[in-house]
């Protein structure tokens, strides 16, 4: 009997911990239509039954053929204020409105929700919102009316406006470029039925996205959930550091003050009260940092614990989500970590050449920087393109990059634009890394077209985490068939034809279909191309344990096959590099990061640029006799050259100083003659047969 009572009490408490949803629309369960052009496929539909779209009827601007204002370029939504769009990058369906219309007049674009009943003192309205283009960020207002007998904009006015965010015509305005959780307490409407309306109040911006519109009754008035977000995990002995925690108000009362405490195993305990500058609304979050956490004077692995003591002067009513803990590695020494820049690019993006030039300059001026370009849709599309876009959460395929996959809390994102890269790279140089990664024993078989290498990770101090190894094959100097000047997935679109200081000034030709200039193959070569990813996108989990020991070697051997290229100038061993890095995974994107990187060239030879340039410099090179037993003769070659012979493993075995080459000391077999100038080199196969 006693057990039954205890079980009943437990069940009541367990059920109470869950919110009661009284209205929710995630915009997922709909039959979608597809609209396809030569460049874009759009998946969309109209707003759901029960919702009402009210607008002034202005025609939506269709944009360009490559980048339309989807889905409002479709016939069914061209004059609509709101629609539903499926985005393949974020793999989600959501509500969308546009303020980009064919007029400069003020728009009036409303969407009214169905009548919602059952509102109580613990009811909360919440939704996700974002504006995908930060340059043209939309704003909006939210209204709540208790007049539910009429479905019309006349029931909404300034007196029942509960939320407003101006577009970025106002300084600091506009919704963010990533999903932001918004919420409003509905306690003032307890016992009543309500109708909710969202209104796009932007002037000639782009789009507003809304999702997961929910009204729910929360079980607790005072409830804070803690998350371990972006806390320092690796510090040096006697290095000052601060601890922090992200708070989510999981209750239905606003929070004005909170007291947190922390302990570091065997070292310290501290409690601190925080008065919030702005009251924390239900289901909203904020991050609080302890002051004067201090330093630790002995290397080792320490358990850190952070918890809630009080909120609003009262105890937290839900004890199951108010504590976080993790392990801190304190190191005697560290190494300067290398920084990897993973850049989104595509031959169809006219601004891509400037991004590539920026990466080239950054890598030339910083030996600790490693550049990678991940192509999204063109002929060089990577096998992890979709996963990478999902990781960055950039819904409009913007030309952005991640740096060590690091999340910057000050920017609330893990991706950055070209102009931001240098400052963010400098910020990462002070990062303390707990490990070293090294690529070794590279062997390349150019006949069977395979590459093998060892990748070894060594930790400088004991640690705890989800550590993974990733390995990339990178290629330089990639382009399409020079005779093909069409938009073929290799030939790069360019927006710099009229830019005098650009390397692409007055280069290429104008394509009316693409509404952009197209660079020919000899005018643009793709660099830092991710050719293959040898491991899953989030890394190989089989190499490093969750509790790596300082000084242990964690090594794995990786092998890859390189196909013979049948389309374009690519898959050349001379242009290959191996890039390997240690990635630390976490359920929260804010805690994911690359800890260290290594980069090695596959062959010990200069890069191969292209045949057209070689012929222009060297002419039509003749080698005879071939096979040779004693002497090789080079014809049609100027005196201004250097050359050497290497074996099939890429090892240099003989320097060449004249047009007559003595090969009598070489064993029978296949070799390669490398002829080079300051700009290019050419590789010729030779056979020694005695």
Tens digits of per-residue pLDDT, 620-674? 577 889 899 999 888 766 556 678 888 876 678 888 888 889 999 999 988 888 7
For residue 680, give both structure tokens.
């290019």
108 — phi, psi (to 5°)?
-140, 95
| 3 state SS of 76 | coil
C-alpha gyration radius of the chain: 31
For residue 674, give both structure tokens.
């490398």
Residue 130 Rama label (left phi>0; alpha psi -120 to 50; beta): beta
Query: CB–CB of 94/210 below 8 Å?
Result: yes
| 3 state SS of 586 | coil
55-69, 153-167, 301-315, range with the lowest pLDDT: 55-69
Query: For residue 63, with 0-12 CB atoms within 10 Å meaning exposed, 13-18 middle and 19 or more buried, which class applies?
Result: middle
Chain center to CA of 319: 35
> Which pLDDT does position 645 carry in this prediction?
87
Element housing 29 (H / E): none
CA distance 682 to 638: 14
More confident residue, 652 or 397: 652
Percentage of residues in the chain having pLDDT higher than 70: 93
**Tens of pLDDT, residues 329-345:** 999 988 878 999 999 99
**Tens of pLDDT, residues 506-551:** 888 888 878 889 998 888 999 999 999 999 999 999 999 999 999 9
CA distance 553 to 543: 10
Nearest CA-CA partner of 480 in 446, 521, 509, 511: 521
| 3 state SS of 326 | strand
> Which pLDDT does position 377 carry in this prediction?
86
Q: Output the furthest CA–CA distance in the chain (Å, rounded).
A: 102
Nearest CA-CA partner of 55 in 94, 114, 99: 99
Q: How many other CB atoms are found less than 10 A from the CB of residue 128?
A: 19
Query: CB–CB of 91/192 below 8 Å?
Result: no
Model confidence at 12, in pLDDT bands (50, 70, 90)?
Answer: very low
Region 142-164: mean pLDDT is: 95
For residue 25, give both structure tokens.
């629309």
Element housing 15 (H / E): helix 2-16
| 3 state SS of 602 | coil
């Amino acid at each position: 009997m006693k057990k039954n009572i205890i079980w009943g009490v437990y069940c009541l408490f367990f059920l109470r911990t869950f919110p009661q949803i009284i209205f929710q629309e995630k915009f997922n369960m709909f039959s979608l239509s597809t609209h396809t052009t030569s460049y874009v496929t759009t998946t969309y539909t109209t707003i759901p039954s029960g919702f009402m779209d009210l607008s002034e009827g202005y025609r939506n601007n269709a944009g360009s053929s490559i980048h339309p204002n989807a889905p409002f370029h479709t016939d069914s939504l061209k004059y609509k204020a709101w629609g539903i769009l499926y985005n393949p990058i974020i793999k989600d369906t959501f509500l969308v409105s546009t303020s980009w219309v064919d007029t400069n007049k003020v728009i009036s674009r409303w969407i009214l929700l169905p009548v919602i009943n059952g509102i109580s003192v613990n009811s909360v309205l919440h939704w996700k919102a974002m504006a995908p283009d930060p340059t043209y960020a939309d704003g909006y207002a939210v209204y709540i009316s208790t007049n539910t007998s009429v479905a019309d904009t006349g029931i909404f006015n300034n007196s029942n406006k509960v939320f407003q965010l101006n577009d970025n015509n106002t300084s600091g305005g506009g919704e963010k470029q990533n999903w932001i959780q918004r919420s409003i307490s509905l306690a003032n409407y307890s016992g009543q039925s309500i109708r909710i309306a969202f209104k796009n109040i932007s002037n000639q911006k782009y789009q507003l996205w809304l999702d997961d519109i929910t009204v729910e009754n929360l079980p607790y008035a005072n409830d804070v959930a803690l998350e371990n977000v972006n806390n320092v995990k690796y510090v040096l002995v006697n290095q000052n550091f601060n601890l922090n925690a992200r708070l989510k108000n999981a209750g239905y009362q606003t929070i004005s003050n909170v007291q947190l405490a922390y302990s570091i195993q065997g070292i310290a305990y501290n409690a601190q009260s925080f008065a919030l500058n702005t009251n924390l609304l239900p289901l909203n979050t904020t991050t609080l940092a302890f002051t004067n956490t201090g330093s630790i004077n002995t290397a080792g692995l320490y358990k850190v614990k952070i918890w809630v003591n009080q909120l609003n002067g009262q105890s937290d009513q839900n004890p199951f989500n108010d504590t976080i803990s993790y392990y801190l590695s304190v190191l005697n020494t560290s190494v300067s970590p290398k920084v990897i820049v993973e850049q989104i690019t595509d031959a169809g993006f006219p601004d891509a050449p400037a991004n590539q030039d920026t990466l080239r300059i950054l890598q030339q001026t910083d030996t600790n920087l490693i550049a990678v370009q991940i192509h999204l849709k063109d002929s060089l599309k990577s096998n992890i393109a979709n996963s990478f876009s999902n990781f960055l959460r950039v819904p409009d395929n913007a030309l952005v990059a991640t740096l060590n996959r690091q999340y910057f809390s000050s920017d609330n994102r893990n991706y950055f634009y070209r102009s931001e890269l240098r400052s963010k790279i400098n910020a990462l140089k002070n990062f303390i890394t707990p490990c070293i990664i090294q690529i070794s024993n590279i062997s390349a078989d150019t006949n069977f077209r395979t590459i093998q290498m060892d990748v070894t990770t060594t930790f400088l101090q004991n640690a705890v985490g989800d550590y993974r190894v990733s390995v990339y094959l990178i290629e330089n100097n990639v382009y399409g068939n020079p005779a093909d000047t069409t938009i073929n997935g290799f030939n790069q679109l360019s927006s710099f034809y009229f830019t005098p200081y650009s390397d692409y000034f007055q280069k290429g030709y104008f394509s009316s279909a693409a509404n952009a200039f197209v660079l020919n193959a000899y005018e643009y070569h793709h660099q830092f191309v991710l050719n293959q990813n040898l491991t899953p996108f989030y890394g190989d989990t089989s190499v490093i344990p969750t509790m790596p020991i300082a000084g242990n070697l964690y090594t794995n051997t990786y092998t890859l096959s390189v196909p013979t290229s049948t389309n374009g100038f690519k898959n050349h061993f001379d242009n290959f590099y191996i890039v390997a890095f240690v990635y630390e995974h976490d359920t929260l994107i804010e805690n994911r990061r690359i800890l260290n990187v290594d980069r090695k060239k596959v062959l010990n030879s200069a890069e191969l640029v292209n045949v057209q340039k070689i012929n222009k410099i060297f002419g039509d090179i003749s080698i005879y006799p071939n096979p040779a037993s004693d002497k090789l003769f080079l014809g049609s070659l100027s005196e201004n050259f250097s050359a050497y012979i290497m074996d099939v493993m890429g090892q240099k075995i003989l320097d060449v100083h004249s047009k007559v080459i003595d090969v009598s000391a070489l064993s029978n077999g296949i070799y390669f003659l490398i002829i080079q100038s300051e700009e290019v080199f050419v590789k010729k196969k030779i056979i020694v047969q005695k």
